């Protein structure tokens, strides 16, 4: 993982605000419904691959390798649009999700542990 060896457009790379380990959080969202599916991590190369292949590519912090969503599970994310937030420290990847987005087999990673509001 290295931002210096990536083919990411230098104008985009110059704007990114990365964490100390060179990563930016990447939120995957269903493009047509707005449903938030998951959060992954990208470095410059993962973002470059996502932009150029049309398949969401992430950096695995635990395995220390790139992974393309769906290569092993078949639950592919077809990229429809990619945007940076106003601070350029988070990436929004709008996708057409095939099957489950979560590694647990659920559609989204955010539907099981809903916290109570103390109102």
Confidence tier at 5 by pLDDT (50, 70, 90): low
Give the span between the Cα atoms of 63 and 78, in whole angstroms: 23
Give the span between the Cα atoms of 43 and 91, in whole angstroms: 11
- How many percent of the chain have pLDDT more than 70? 96
Q: Give 76: exposed, middle or buried? Use CB within 10 Å, 0-12, 13-18, 19+.
A: middle
Give the span between the Cα atoms of 72 and 81, in whole angstroms: 23
pLDDT for 3 beyond 50: no
pLDDT in tens, 28-64: 999 999 999 999 999 999 999 999 999 999 999 999 9
- Tell me which CATH code domain 3-97 carries: 3.10.20.810
- How many percent of the chain have pLDDT more than 90? 87
């Amino acid at each position: 993982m290295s931002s210096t060896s990536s083919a990411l457009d230098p104008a985009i790379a110059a704007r990114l605000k990365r964490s100390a380990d060179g990563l930016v959080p990447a939120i995957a969202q269903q493009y047509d419904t707005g449903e938030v599916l998951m959060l992954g991590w990208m470095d410059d190369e993962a973002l470059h691959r996502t932009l150029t292949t049309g398949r969401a590519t992430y950096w695995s912090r635990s395995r220390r390798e790139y992974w393309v969503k769906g290569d092993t599970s078949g639950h592919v994310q077809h990229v429809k649009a990619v945007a940076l937030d106003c601070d350029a420290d988070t990436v929004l990847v709008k996708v057409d999700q095939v099957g489950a987005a979560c590694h647990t087999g659920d559609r989204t990673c955010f539907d099981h542990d809903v916290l109570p509001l103390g109102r």
